[in-house]
Structure 1
Amino acid sequence: MKKIKSFFWGVSLFALPVFAQQKPAYLDVDKPIEVRVEDALRRMTLEEKVAMTHAQSKFSSPGVPRLGIPENWMTDGPHGIRAEVLWDEWYGANWTNDSCIAFPALTCLAATWDTEMSALYGKSIGEEARYRNKNVLLGPGVNIYRTPLNGRNFEYMGEDPYLASKMVVPYILEVQKNGVAACVKHFALNNQEIYRGHINVQVDDRALHEIYLPAFKAAVHEGQAWAIMGSYNKYKDEHCCHNQYLLNDLLKRDWGFDGVVVSDWGGVHDTKEAIFNGLDMEFGSWTNGLNWGQSNAYDNYYLAHPYLNLIKKGEVTEKELNDKVRRILRLVFRTNMAKERHFGSFGTEEHALAGRTIAQQGIVLLQNKKNVLPVDASKVKRVLVVGENAVKRMTVGGGSSSLKAKYEVSPLEGIKARLGDGAEVIYSPGYASPAVKEQDVLGAEEPDKMEIDADALRNDAVKWAKDADVVFFVGGLNKNDGQDCEGNDRSSLSLPYEQDQLIAELAKANPNTVVVIISGNAVAMPWVKQVPAIVEAWYSGTEAGNALASILFGDVNPSGKLPFTFPARLEDNGAHALGEHPGDSINVKYNESIFVGYRWADKQKKTKPLFAFGHGLSYTTFAYGKATATKKSLTADETITFTVPVKNTGSREGSEVVQLYIGDKKSTLPRPIKELKGFSKVKLAPGEEKMVSFTIDKTDLSYYDDTQNRWVAEPGAFEAFVGASSDDIRSTVSFELR
């Protein structure tokens, strides 16, 4: 660099780069992003472009230091900001300032049926990501709940595409206000963990467009998501991380997505497919992104030196590369180099309380015979808490959503804190799960295999139950392999660790036994008629115990509703009734087609679900009046509004989720009896009545006609069903589409 003699302070100066003398367009935050993108692109070398398309560490990809373009740093979500890991390993880096707030699992968020809660969630987790200087949050997840055995269902938003679509959008919008990209995952059809790396999903076009794609489409069109993550599985015999139809034809061409497509870690399998089939950024593990190999080998990634060599040999052009880099630059200018980007905040009381509020709104009261709940804290002197899940940490484990939480209030701690010195609280484990090696801890050893005396644990808990005023059994699933955990599916709908027998015996010993299930999945309940009260508490994060206690003792009136169906038996689920889970290890056929969840349950005349989609009780009662419509018919360019009066007929304030379903009485192709097309969470004081309205149009009456490859709304008779759940319809209105 040429020296320039300084006339100031007697110090020699080096000549500044050209861009420091006159600011180039890509650094001018007042210029349109597309102008900045093109200006930066033309200044980059071939090597700099290729480098941006693949990882340089476990969670980062290169920028362009020469041009002052920063790196991209990803963080696992969607329930909290993952602890820092070593540069090239999954093991924790042992930082002392990366303990996050753990937010409730997305099943809990979906169970709020409240878009304001989704916005609060996105705002809070976005602030945490921003503070940690992450510019891409790997979440939220919107894969549809097809089977209750999917080990990763807890990370998603339930079985219904309309509910998932409405709940994902506010999350994305609020995350991205922090200058952090939401990376919506896993696109698409990642509905099981068994064989996830290679299983080829065979699904008809109707189910694809009506069930499995709408939430992703809403994320792009309404949420304006800046990133999408591909999935491990195959569709049309191509891996979804480089899938011509999903990524090029559908996402980028038909939907107009202008953000980046990020591979799932290790989801890339071929350089040329990655080049041409829509992938923009490759992330993964070790040598080729999939297999164990030499460490720190990012130059060997499919989109690294192999890509560069193909270009230099003239076997491929820079056309596809430039498109990838444009998208990555767009990401950078929207996040790390945005005009306004707040500093964020991390591990705050505000975020912890936001998480508690979301959990309180999402906890579902499934059953409450004889109004056993809420428990009057002033009238109980001895309380027994039973169950490993009452004390087990639920923010760790489970795969990529594992967190290093700043703190986690257990159910036992929450109950004790709520009762204070007013009552004796006794804890008895009742059951135990095998100890497992701690996830992502360098040097962690397999724990000694301890023999579990299930009979002794059960007998001890039952003995204590006989003298308690109330028994809180806190069980369910956990984050161990084969339960609610990435990488594997459950083997059964039943509760593990002999919990069913324990619950049955506790109920015999004490009629005031309350069962609290902590899970992200439905479970079988052979004891359902033996216990008076059942609560689904989900994985509720940092403030889990306090949120649960506030429900059990009536400080908060429960208002959560199930975002998926609880079948009584596994064979009452469509995927299992028709025999296609998990497939033959090569292919899995979605024989149930569009009849997923309550759509399948509605078809079954002789069986009813254990608890229906949309079900959830309250400590007060609500009366629905007769629903009315603004007109008896509508044309294709008109709307129709349905209104129903809802009144709180109980003695305390509460919130009710009013649900609108639409049914097509006669159609050319088979359709579900009804489909969710609207919901509204309304808060009512005792005796208060409000009018709840829903407006729909032709799109809400349409189905995807795979014979024409388009959405169709057929003229004819329809019905609007207004109710408290999918199997609790309170009012019906007939209307026509002309």
Structure 2
Amino acid sequence: MFKPIKLFSTVLLIVGLLVNVAAQESLPVYLNEAKPMEQRIEDALSRMTLEEKVAMVHAQSKFSSAGVPRLGIPENWMTDGPHGIRAEVFWDEWDQAGWTNDSCIAFPALTCLAATWNKDMSALYGKVIGEEARYRNKNVLLGPGVNIYRTPLNGRNFEYMGEDPFLASKMVVPYIQGVQSSGVAACVKHYALNNQEIDRHTVNVNIDDRTLYEIYLPAFKAAVQEGGAWAIMGAYNKYKGQWAGQNQFLLNDILRGEWKFDGVVVSDWGGINDTKQAIYHGLDMEFGSWTDGLSKGASNAYDNYYLADPFLKLIRSGEVKVEEVDKKVRNILRLVFRTNMNTKRPFGSFGTEEHALAGRKIAQDGIVLLKNNNNTLPINLSKAKKIAVIGENAIKVMTVGGGSSSLKAKYEISPLDGIKSRVGKDAEVVFARGYVGEKPKSQDGLKTGDVEETRSAEELSKEALELAKTADFVVFVGGLNKNNGQDSEGNDRKSLGLPYSQDKLITELAKVNKNLAVVMISGNAVAMPWVKEVPSIVQGWYLGTEAGSALASVLVGDVNPSGKLPFTFPVKLDDNGAHKLGDYPGNGEQTYHEGIFVGYRWADKQNVKPLFSFGHGLSYTSFEYGKVTADKKDMAADGNITFSVDVRNTGKRDGQEVVQLYIHDVKSSVPRPVKELKDFQKVSLKAGETKTVKFTIDKTALSFFDAAKHDWVAEAGDFKALIGASSTDIRQTVGFKLL
């Protein structure tokens, strides 16, 4: 029998739906989310005054741009990333606004994320940082960065995803999708060719089209076409004589023309230099310009931006057509409808334990074990009853400084505290600073909290060596930091070597105690003249809030390290193409003479043995590769081919291995790299377990960019698939033919 209450509920539901539909239909088109987005955009545009349109295309404060309050269109609020949500600053200043509830979770630097070689970690990273941005009501996250690691001296390499365009392309996509799942736009930067900090505002990059398309554009293309990025940030440097943020070739011809990008192009802060170029060459939103409006009589300095009053006057005079501002506002409205006018976006969360633990997980997955002779690591706590931790980076704050990635972190666990906490009562942990860097500096009102040091370098070294002699195990924590001239925005490193005489101290430590692990905290490769004297080396990166906990878990073996290097460690600078060919940093002009031969491609071409190879990373277990097989000998031009290889964990511990597929073109009409990464998989294997790893490729993996045809070309002929554990540790090879 049909129940009346059920009928009544059904009627209420139907009535509610009808009321909701009626309410939606009564709304203006631009506010009706049921309507097609492009229709909503045109409706909103038709209701706006010229002054309201122009106001939307330039900043109104350090990190915001105007909405249209009269129409209920909200402001756009940007936040620096990509490693955490920047603290609130004053409306028109860089200094902290003094909020007490804006302390974020600091996540590992993107070099660490790239070192995970794990797309699941990238998706997790995007999800949690997107939730933090959303909670703080930011609708644009200024990150991630995907500029290619061309030289180990670039001060911002720590913000990027390594030297290989394929690896960066695959890692950036899940990050973007994770961020945007919270209704926050990922603003991928710095587009393009921003590969040095020296003269970054003035240098003009000279590069051939093949190199541009094969090395420096793929990650941006993947961000747009696979990741669906809603925003792109232009770079500071010039290309073809035009600043990248107002560049016909990069923004109009390639980004919008070839890739069909429909999001917003945002300037880097201070990256715009000309009104006419900004109008016509693809820019949508101008931020941080260094114009001095007040001295020119403007009541609001932002009115003097290139796309502010100067733009408005050109339109009013008829010299510039209204359609030019309409193009920009359409893209901005599309951003607004996707983000802060999307009523279905989640609320987000901020500074949570869940986010901190996600950051720790990513850090643990990205830490790279570079060397481990005689199984020095993990630390055996049944034997090591006194552990000496030595080095300034064991106590130094790494979340403050470095430029726009500087963060006001809720907390940061130092390596020393992480080790102490993990070891507990199992061993005594003692500390010596060992060396001291320059006096720590605050940034934007944030202080590093570093301990002042009055002792001499000789006293510090002597104390460290005496302590090391009495310890059962020594952990040296050194490397670089976020000071100017190291891993920091605005300047490049002066040399590949370690600062503060660390090389001498490490050499002496190796003499007094053979149970030594050297931990390098950096986002860049460093020279290691002591590499043969030290039994174990760990690349620790900048690991964020949970840095010490993540590092300690790897050192004592709670976590089996599985990170792989996303860039090559050269022995010396001359082993790098940009330095060997003598053009870096240029004198206003920077020519990429090495062309497509960047990173491991250069090392292979020159037959130079790296200090540590691209893709290198050890484990506390061992992996054996079986014979690789192909599902066919010949691949049709419109088909694909699958390679299979069995990988077995031959050790006694569970672990993860990154299986890497490289392709070698046996004979080509143009110079090609000896091999190029074309796929990878991170597989988890229990002790003794075997899994079959499969890679399927099509002709895109075999193609090169033909500049004359302005197209990708795959030439018929013989190829080899190389499968291994790094670019120099190739375990198996199989040949095949492209018909």
Asked if Structure 1 and Structure 2 have the same fold, meaning a TM-score greater than 0.5 normalized by the shorter chain, the answer is yes
- Taking the aligned partners of 1:294 and 1:538, their CA distance within structure 2 comes to 46
Say if 2:560 and 2:619, in contact at 8 Å, map to a contact too. Answer: yes
State the 1:706 CA deviation. 1.5
State the 1:635 CA deviation. 1.3
Residue 505 (structure 1) aligns with: 508
Whether 2:98 is the aligned partner of 1:116: answer no
- Taking the aligned partners of 1:498 and 1:453, their CA distance within structure 2 comes to 13
State the 1:201 CA deviation. 0.4
State the 1:23 CA deviation. 1.3
State the 1:436 CA deviation. 3.1
- Taking the aligned partners of 2:320 and 2:296, their CA distance within structure 1 comes to 29
TM normalised by structure 2 equals: 0.95
Residue 82 (structure 1) aligns with: 86
Give 1:602's match in structure 2, choosing from 578, 601, 604. 604
State the 1:29 CA deviation. 1.2
- Taking the aligned partners of 1:308 and 1:293, their CA distance within structure 2 comes to 17
- Taking the aligned partners of 1:35 and 1:355, their CA distance within structure 2 comes to 41
Say if 2:294 and 2:300, in contact at 8 Å, map to a contact too. Answer: no
* Cα deviation code 1:257-312 (max 9, x no counterpart): 00000000000000000000000000015536999999951000000000000001
* Cα deviation code 1:577-612 (max 9, x no counterpart): 11121111x10010000000000011122x300000
Say if 2:396 and 2:450, in contact at 8 Å, map to a contact too. Answer: no
- Taking the aligned partners of 2:292 and 2:661, their CA distance within structure 1 comes to 49
Distance 1:355 1:275, change over 3 A: same
* Cα deviation code 1:631-676 (max 9, x no counterpart): 0111110000000000000001000000000010111110000000
Whether 2:206 is the aligned partner of 1:205: answer no
State the 1:437 CA deviation. 2.5
Say if 1:126 and 1:180, in contact at 8 Å, map to a contact too. Answer: yes
Residue 477 (structure 1) aligns with: 480
- Taking the aligned partners of 1:254 and 1:319, their CA distance within structure 2 comes to 22
Say if 2:25 and 2:32, in contact at 8 Å, map to a contact too. Answer: no
Give 1:557's match in structure 2, choosing from 557, 560, 567. 560
Say if 1:286 and 1:296, in contact at 8 Å, map to a contact too. Answer: no
State the 1:54 CA deviation. 0.1
- Taking the aligned partners of 1:112 and 1:293, their CA distance within structure 2 comes to 53
State the 1:417 CA deviation. 0.3
State the 1:708 CA deviation. 2.1
- Taking the aligned partners of 2:522 and 2:43, their CA distance within structure 1 comes to 50
* Cα deviation code 1:307-343 (max 9, x no counterpart): 0000011110011110100000000000000131110
Residue 660 (structure 1) aligns with: 661
Whether 2:390 is the aligned partner of 1:400: answer no
Say if 1:286 and 1:293, in contact at 8 Å, map to a contact too. Answer: no
- Taking the aligned partners of 1:720 and 1:422, their CA distance within structure 2 comes to 48
Residue 590 (structure 1) aligns with: 592
- Taking the aligned partners of 2:634 and 2:416, their CA distance within structure 1 comes to 55
SS in 1 for 2:122: helix
Distance 1:452 1:575, change over 3 A: farther
Residue 16 (structure 2) aligns with: none
| Worse overlay, 117-126 or 379-388 | 379-388
Residue 177 (structure 1) aligns with: 181
Give 2:495's match in structure 1, choosing from 492, 497, 500. 492
- Taking the aligned partners of 1:348 and 1:304, their CA distance within structure 2 comes to 40
Cα RMSD after superposing both structures: 1.9
Residue 23 (structure 1) aligns with: 27
Give structure 1 regions of 4+ aligned residues with deviation exceeding 2 angstroms: 19-22, 285-296, 444-452
Whether 2:41 is the aligned partner of 1:37: answer yes
Partner letter of residue 721 of structure 1? L
Distance 1:258 1:306, change over 3 A: same
| Worse overlay, 285-294 or 373-382 | 285-294
Residue 542 (structure 1) aligns with: 545
- Taking the aligned partners of 2:382 and 2:140, their CA distance within structure 1 comes to 48
Give 1:467's match in structure 2, choosing from 453, 456, 470. 470
- Taking the aligned partners of 1:341 and 1:227, their CA distance within structure 2 comes to 18
- Taking the aligned partners of 2:179 and 2:501, their CA distance within structure 1 comes to 41
* Cα deviation code 1:564-583 (max 9, x no counterpart): 00000110011001112111
Say if 1:57 and 1:296, in contact at 8 Å, map to a contact too. Answer: no
Residue 692 (structure 2) aligns with: 691
Partner letter of residue 664 of structure 1? D
SS in 1 for 2:95: coil
SS in 2 for 1:84: coil
Say if 1:287 and 1:293, in contact at 8 Å, map to a contact too. Answer: no
Whether 2:278 is the aligned partner of 1:274: answer yes
Residue 262 (structure 1) aligns with: 266
Give 1:348's match in structure 2, choosing from 344, 347, 352. 352
Say if 2:631 and 2:643, in contact at 8 Å, map to a contact too. Answer: yes
Whether 2:673 is the aligned partner of 1:669: answer no
TM normalised by structure 1 equals: 0.95
Matched positions, count: 717
SS in 2 for 1:88: coil
Say if 1:220 and 1:257, in contact at 8 Å, map to a contact too. Answer: yes
Residue 381 (structure 1) aligns with: 385
Give 1:54's match in structure 2, choosing from 52, 58, 72. 58
Partner letter of residue 630 of structure 2? A
Residue 186 (structure 1) aligns with: 190
Please list every run of 5 or more consecutive structure 1 residues that lacks an aligned counterpart in the other structure.
1-18
Give 2:363's match in structure 1, choosing from 336, 359, 364. 359
* Cα deviation code 1:187-240 (max 9, x no counterpart): 000000000001000011111000000000000000000000000000000000
Say if 1:185 and 1:230, in contact at 8 Å, map to a contact too. Answer: yes
- Taking the aligned partners of 2:296 and 2:275, their CA distance within structure 1 comes to 18
Give 2:108's match in structure 1, choosing from 104, 108, 133. 104
SS in 2 for 1:515: strand
Distance 1:452 1:597, change over 3 A: farther
Residue 300 (structure 1) aligns with: 304
Within-5 A mapping of 1:142-161: 142-161=146-165
Say if 2:204 and 2:237, in contact at 8 Å, map to a contact too. Answer: yes
SS in 1 for 2:612: coil
Partner letter of residue 336 of structure 1? N
Residue 7 (structure 2) aligns with: none
Say if 1:288 and 1:302, in contact at 8 Å, map to a contact too. Answer: no
- Taking the aligned partners of 1:600 and 1:283, their CA distance within structure 2 comes to 37
Residue 342 (structure 2) aligns with: 338
Residue 679 (structure 1) aligns with: 680
Partner letter of residue 197 of structure 2? E
Say if 2:122 and 2:174, in contact at 8 Å, map to a contact too. Answer: yes
Say if 2:397 and 2:449, in contact at 8 Å, map to a contact too. Answer: no
